[in-house]
Each structure stands twice: as structure tokens, then as C-alpha cells.
Structure 1
């Protein structure tokens, strides 16, 4: 090889090495939902939890298929029906170099109850713990008032923070990075609400090291700009592929898709309160003196008015399947005896007439416009279905940051929510359990539904230490809720990611996008 060719080859190799290094050193991801806060105990929402998992960790982790595995706790066991013992990993360091111990764990389990005005508290995971005992720096025992089998699963949802860094910290201190001291695979670099989250690799991480020195998460809630960022190379991967762009991506050799039926179920919360419901009137706009949603016949009519097959096929373009349960197929407690409500507009009209609304009524449907796949179109389509049976429906959608706090206060009559859970009894406890600040039940029960039979079935499920008995009670509770039309299920959403060629990522049931699980091929 002559000198000229040798020089050209060397330059090409150097360029390839530089490109490869740049690609390996930095990862840019387009996120579909805003990050409300970096305080891991402030707002229990999917986007927040996914981001927090880069910076913080829980005692128990969850794999891509929804199975629990060791996290900051190496092992756990039931000492007796009301006591669980967790053995901690030794030598785990926080980002400031201090060691994680049982003292940090106890502090972290206490902190959710101290957060004021949380729009989605974590207390449903901690309220059942009545005592915490530190046996030694690496052993914690958690006591419950009564037998409680799924405590390890609860512990997958509470992040461990540094007591030293968070003792006097406010949520603003976490958002600024001042107190964002965890044990996770990344460290805080920058957070601009609604724009970007930037992280750097934690070289002292106890687990498998990330392939990326720096990760930038761009908040791109609208589907078209998110897709454009991927195609232009502004980001290396995106979550929540816009349905209209699926075929384009499948035929583009520069990209690859990863998809999986997720744990997320989209459904309607209904106002169950005995009040003049704020967004229900007669068709002339006069508020009704009673809340029609208190009548099961009205709730059933709404369920029958919705054509779920058309909704999933046309509006979601196959990225969902019709739902009959609060949790998705394959999730613990899913009851396959419950069937998808048949589309029956004439039956819906008959039920409305029987309930005393032969001419229907007017209602506003509320939902987010930047959280779920085609969420605004979902709300609009359901409004059209309801209008066909005499319920005059208008649509009000809002950005997630505006919508969630208002919905959580019960401001709306009919509100769209997507919920993901690894267990049916957990989901029912949180979404439909009678609201109780003392035990943390009903923290996402927007409609203030209350049914003692449901509560008792969930209590029996949670108290069961035998999996078969627990699941039987969970299914019983699901049947009680769904046969009472406590909520109106719509569909189970697909999780989807698009990646630049040269990357790989295993699709996750929980829909979470974890930068540390992206790898170069």
C-alpha cells in the first residue's frame, strides 16, 4: 500500500473511531410526556417514575417483563405474616460518595407522608407499614398492622434517597439538582421543565455501567415533532411512535421498532359523588339537580355507547386492544371472565330512558392532549359515540401539567386516565379503593367511588400470602368493580420505541424508557 492510500485509510479509520466514540458517549432520546418533577416522592406518575429510575433506585426492581428482582435489597423474606425483612446491598454509594444504609431506607419510607399537596402521592405504598426497625446498617424489618403479602412489590415503587441530602429538602431542591442525590446509574446535570433533562454517567454505580457518558432527554410531547426529531437525527430514539408513522418506520432501513402490549389501560373515571356534578347539565345548559352518573344504568349506557373496536383500529391504528379489565392481560389479577362491553347504541338509549333521561343530557369530557397515544382524538371520538345515543358531549383537553392536578381534585365529571400496574389488587386499591388518607387508599380515585364489597375483596387479596388465594380475591374485586361500571375501560395500549440503526432496546411492559438499557449493537 502506497503512502497516499495508507494515509487515506488511516484518516477513514480515525473518522470511524471518532464517530463510534461520539455515538457511544452520548445518547439523545425523545420523550412523549413531560416530567413533572425530579423529586421521587412528590408525584407518582409514569413519566416521573421512569426518569427517577435513572437517578434513584428502590429496594426491589422490576424487569422488562414485569417480574420483580433484587434492587438495593439483595433479598427479602417474611419473618411472620406481619413482618418482612430486607437485606441491603453493602457498599452501595450515593452520588456524593456517602454509603447507602438502613437509615436512608427508613427515612425514604417515611418521606412520602411528609410531602404536602402531592397531586399523586406515594403513600399507598407506605401507609400499610406501621413500624420500621433497623437491625443493623444493612438489615431493615418492616411491620404491617395485618398480614400483607405483596409488600415486596410495593417496595419497587418507593425510591431511596440520601437522608443527608434530603432531610430538609423541598421539591424545588430536587428540581434544581441540589438534593438530587441517589444511587442510580446517572447523576443530575440539568433540568428545564417542558424542555430537557440532562444526565451524566455515574462511574461509581454498583451495577452494570451505562454505555453512555451523557444522556439528553428531550421533552417532545407532540407526535409529529418527535418523529421529525428522529428522522433528522436530532435524537437517537423516541418512545410512543405516532400511529400514522408506523408504516413509514417499518419500511425505513435506517431505523428499527420495538413493541409490546403494555400494562397501561386507558379508561374513564366517572363522578360518583352525590352532588351537582360540575360539568353535567341539561341540553339547554342548566345544571341537573342530581348527578346522573350515580345511576348504574347511565354508567352502563356510556359503556355500551363506545365502539372500542373502531376506536383501536381507526384512531389508534392497531396500537391498542379493547379492554374489559382495569389491568392488562397477563398482569396478576386479570379476570378473563370479564368480557369487552359490546357496542350497543340502541341498548344505551334504552338504559338512559329507563334511568329517566330519554332525551339524554349534556356533559364535558376531559382528558390530556400530550400524554397517551392520540389522547385528544380518543376524547373526541368518545364524545361522538356518546352524542349518537343522546348524551351531548363536548371536549376539553389540556396539557398534562394542567390536567392532572385538576382531575386529581375531582374537578371533572368524566375524565380520561391511563393506569399501569403489575397487580390488579394494587390498581384497584389505588384507583377505586375508598379514599382514605390514613391508609393511602384511593390516591387516584378521581371519581370518589366507594364500595365496601370491593374494599373487602381487595383487603383479602392483599392479606393473602398464597399467590393462588390472593389472585382469586383480586379477580373477585375486579368483577365487583367492573360489573358496577365503577370505571369505563377503553383499551390496553401498546408500548413502542423507534431506534436509530446501531442501537438495541428491549421493549418493557411498564412502558418506561431507560437510557441505561439502550445498548450499541
Structure 2
């Protein structure tokens, strides 16, 4: 996809082409006549690039965690592959008055331990979410709007908000419902060891080996469409080459995050098919504006600086226009992405057409640095993951080289995402590459990343850089309590524009989601990038 040619809305309606090589019928041993075709396997093995940080569905707002949780747990409100809301454990919902939402819950649903799903489980879940210990990315921003609950009957619940809040169904799309019977003191460890893995989802947990694999079995009492697979091995293979080799050898039947460098070869390989769609994930840089003295910035002699240059907007602007986004997409991403100047892609709700992608201009960047008092630049360490996003380590290497050209001496430090997540939670960084996938509208990005960190309100839950802009906060809050869809969308567009003008973060590009499959399988590409075994079907 080339910038400006197509929108997310266009792509969500495309049907992907499949190039399947169907297996021939087996021959009966010792005879010359054809045997009946072998029965299709009931087992599926797939590989994803990023492991979860926990099996606790409320521990970390992270796509790999959410993808894994979706196999064992359900939400009141789900979304389809195009990120549109649809019924989940709630069959319907409506606004009773300005501050009351009523949800009709699905009847006949059972947890994997045989207990009935009721409104009590919803209340229990909402109480637990903000109290998860040591969460590196809290789900509380999705539960804070609920100030009271009222159970009318086991399958009817009313959720009260402090003021008009039209986005509550979108928020609840992010919260997996757990069973009340796990107890008030259930810990993240209880999920990781399997004790608390009691859900209403399509699979049951058989085993979990951190950073290696999850083995799951079909939940035959699942309320929805049963998966095609009796057993699924969900492997984590962070190395691109190893993951592709596993697909080609038949060790796995599907992989996600197909490396751009391998895409041309795989497209011409018999028996390999693709499923792809533009992503809702923005890859961006966080920069430290909280500390008076940023921990990984020094002068050109290597001495710590007494003032944090990143607090100067001109310095942030210089770092932004010192990045050749189109060059990264063309060369590092090999075309698998779109340069970005904001956190929403074209065609999505909240996309502001008046926010331009920053133009690469190293001369102007040097002038901005000089105007800010840094004519000779300074030293900075740029950190990022080496196993989370498409070509993430190569991206920070490329940015480091670009910053060198504007006089900012850059050390690049790539690390496993689990380490990076802890660094982020501690704000132990000066500049960091990270990503954020929205739910199809911009409030989660604004609330989670760009508003001032106010835990009691669920604002800035992953804003660890210290960015704070009163106009962004005000516009976001106004949008969150605006019922009119068009007015709310405009408020969010204005909030995004204010945040980008102040460079609360440095957007780089939107990813493209690509899966590759082996044999007669199909997968409906998802804008939210989740890899779901129950959505893998026989062609």
C-alpha cells in the first residue's frame, strides 16, 4: 500500500487471494488403487512473533496478551475483523438515561468449570481490573467510567457512569470477563500456572511454557461456533527466519508478522497463501519530557546535561523532521506500511486530514537544534524492542543513523520486549520506540498515551513520558462525554492535532498486518492484528 492511494476503509472490504496447493489423496499401501483421502487433522500448530507477558487477561494492555486471552475468555462486547462492535457475552446494550447503560447478557453460557455465567461475574471483573498488582499497562482506563453497578437479574446489568459517556461499549470491548469463583485474591501467578484460567472462551488451557508455547484444547461446551481444531499449539517464535522456516518445513501451518524481506519469496511458493490488511497500529517514539535531567542524554563530551533538551518543543520537532519516514517504509519495511503523522490511519474514525506527515528536512532540523541552544547537538540513547514489531530493531538503527546526520550522536539499544515493557513502566528511558493499536476509534490512544497521567480517572495509563497538555486533556474529556458522533469525532480530531503540534510523541508509520498459511487453510485478516486459532478455517 502506498501512502495516499487507499484507505483503511477500502482495504477492510477486500477479499484476500489464496494460492492453495491441495494435498493429493493417499495411496493404499501394497495396492494399485487410490485410497480414500485422509481425514483432515484435528490439530493446528501456528506461530506468532510476540509472546505474551502473562496469561492474566487484565495484567497488560498488549496485543499479544489480548490475542492469547481471546482463546480462553470472552468480553461483553466483541469486534469483528474490521474492528466493528458486535455482541459478545452481552446480546444487546442501550443507554437508559444519560448516565445508565443496560446490558442484556447471553443466557446458557457456562465457564470451563461448569458454572453459569451471570451478572455477578461482570461485577467481579470490573472490580478486579484496576487492582491488578504491578501491571505495566493497566486496563483501568477501560473500567474507570463505571462508578456503580446494578444487577436487575442474573442476565441484566446496569452500569452507571458519573456523566454522559457514549463510548462505554467500546471500552468494554477491551475487558475479558473472568469467573467470580477464582476468588477476590486471585493473582497474576494464578493465571500463569493455570489455576485461574477459567473462562467462557472457545478453548481450555492444557499447558503454558513462557516464551515457547501454549497448548490448548477445544472447549466443547463453548456457546458460540466451535473451533475446527480439537487441539492447538500456539507457538512463540520471535526470530523471523526461524518462524518462516517453520512454515516452509510444515512444523507450523500459519505464521503472523510475515517479514517483508521474505514476502516476495513466499508469494511464489506453492502451497503458501496470504491474508493481509492495513493495521490499526501506529509505531512511534516516546520521548522523556518528565525528568529535569533525562537519564540517557549527555553532552558531546559524555557528561550528563543539567537540563533536559527534550522538554524544548524545537528539539522534539528537530528529532521528528530528522526522520525519513518514507525512507523507512520503502527500505526497512519494504513497502509494508504507511508513513504517519498521527495515531489513526486514513479512513478510520478520528483521522484528521489536516495533520500532515512530517516532511524529512535535515537542514531545518539542524536549525531548530541551533535555535534551541544545541548547535552541536548532544548524545542520546534510543531504545526499542527486537522481537515485537515488524523490523523493530532495524527501524531504530535507521533512526539512529538519521539523527547522527543532524548532529545528535545516537546510541541504539535493542532488547526483548519484556525488558522494554519494564523500562517503560519505570520511565527508564530518554527515547523509545513503541507501538499502539487502537480499537478503531481514537479515544483509547488519546486516553492511554496522550492525556496527562491521572490514574484515578484512567487517563494516561501508558503515558510514562510525562507529556501533559491542558488542551489535549480538555478536548479529550469533552469528546468522551459527547453523544453526537460527528461532534465527538471532531473533538478527538482536534485533540490529536493539539497533541501532534506539541509532539506528545513522534509518530512513524502504520503497520500492515500479514499472515501466511500453508495448505488448505484460510484466515480472515484482522485490523487489530490478533492471531486467533478459532478463526483459522479449512478452505
TM-score class normalised by the smaller sequence: over 0.9
Following superposition of structure 1 onto structure 2, how do residues 116-155 of structure 1 map, counting pairs within 5 Å? 116-155=133-172
The match for 2:223 is 206
Query: How much is the aligned-residue C-alpha RMSD, in angstroms?
Result: 1.3
User: Unpaired runs of 5+ in structure 2?
Assistant: 1-26
The match for 1:8 is 31
User: Unpaired runs of 5+ in structure 1?
Assistant: none
- 1:479 is aligned to 2:497: yes
- 1:194 is aligned to 2:211: yes
Q: Report deviation, 1:156.
A: 0.4
Q: Report deviation, 1:96.
A: 0.8
Q: Distance in 1 between matches of 2:33 and 2:109?
A: 43
Following superposition of structure 1 onto structure 2, how do residues 432-447 of structure 1 map, counting pairs within 5 Å? 432-447=450-465
Q: Secondary structure at the match of 1:438?
A: helix
Residues 113 and 359 (structure 1), Cα distance of their counterparts in 2 relative to 1, 3 Å cut: same
The match for 2:370 is 353
| Aligned residue among 459, 463, 474 for 1:456 | 474
The match for 1:216 is 233
Does the CA contact (< 8 Å) of 1:32 and 1:222 recur in 2? yes
Q: Distance in 2 between matches of 1:6 and 1:278?
A: 69
| CA offsets 1:463-521 (integer angstroms, 9 cap, x no match) | 11111011010000000000111111100000000001200001100000010011001
Q: Which sits farther off after the overlay, 212-221 or 169-178?
A: 169-178
Following superposition of structure 1 onto structure 2, how do residues 32-51 of structure 1 map, counting pairs within 5 Å? 32-51=49-68
The match for 1:162 is 179
The match for 1:85 is 102
Does the CA contact (< 8 Å) of 1:108 and 1:160 recur in 2? yes
How many residues align? The count is 512
Residues 6 and 376 (structure 1), Cα distance of their counterparts in 2 relative to 1, 3 Å cut: closer
| Aligned residue among 289, 303, 307 for 2:320 | 303
Return the structure number with greater helix share.
1
Q: Report deviation, 1:166.
A: 4.2
The match for 1:57 is 74
Does the CA contact (< 8 Å) of 1:92 and 1:183 recur in 2? yes
Q: Distance in 1 between matches of 2:112 and 2:482?
A: 38
Q: Report deviation, 1:93.
A: 0.5
Q: Secondary structure at the match of 1:491?
A: strand
The match for 1:243 is 260
Q: Distance in 2 between matches of 1:364 and 1:410?
A: 14
Q: Secondary structure at the match of 1:265?
A: strand
Q: Report deviation, 1:324.
A: 1.1
Q: Distance in 2 between matches of 1:271 and 1:459?
A: 24
Q: Distance in 2 between matches of 1:11 and 1:188?
A: 39
| Aligned residue among 506, 514, 533 for 1:496 | 514
- 1:275 is aligned to 2:296: no
Q: Distance in 2 between matches of 1:53 and 1:8?
A: 47
Does the CA contact (< 8 Å) of 1:425 and 1:477 recur in 2? no
The match for 2:21 is none
**TM-score, normalised with respect to structure 1:** 0.97
Q: Distance in 2 between matches of 1:374 and 1:213?
A: 34
Residues 9 and 464 (structure 1), Cα distance of their counterparts in 2 relative to 1, 3 Å cut: farther
The match for 2:269 is 252
| CA offsets 1:259-287 (integer angstroms, 9 cap, x no match) | 11100000001111141000010011111
Q: Report deviation, 1:179.
A: 0.9
Q: Report deviation, 1:167.
A: 3.2
Q: Secondary structure at the match of 1:35?
A: coil
Q: Distance in 2 between matches of 1:174 and 1:251?
A: 42
Q: Report deviation, 1:64.
A: 0.2
Does the CA contact (< 8 Å) of 1:166 and 1:179 recur in 2? no
Q: Distance in 2 between matches of 1:393 and 1:168?
A: 45
| Aligned residue among 324, 332, 342 for 2:359 | 342
Q: Distance in 2 between matches of 1:7 and 1:59?
A: 56
Q: Distance in 1 between matches of 2:116 and 2:128?
A: 19
The match for 2:389 is 372
The match for 2:10 is none
Q: Secondary structure at the match of 1:55?
A: coil
Does the CA contact (< 8 Å) of 2:130 and 2:140 recur in 1? yes
The match for 1:234 is 251
Q: Report deviation, 1:81.
A: 1.4
The match for 2:14 is none
Q: Distance in 2 between matches of 1:343 and 1:431?
A: 25
Does the CA contact (< 8 Å) of 1:273 and 1:447 recur in 2? yes
The match for 2:86 is 69
- 1:28 is aligned to 2:45: yes
The match for 1:17 is 38
Q: Distance in 1 between matches of 2:491 and 2:183?
A: 39
Q: Distance in 2 between matches of 1:110 and 1:330?
A: 36
Does the CA contact (< 8 Å) of 2:129 and 2:139 recur in 1? yes
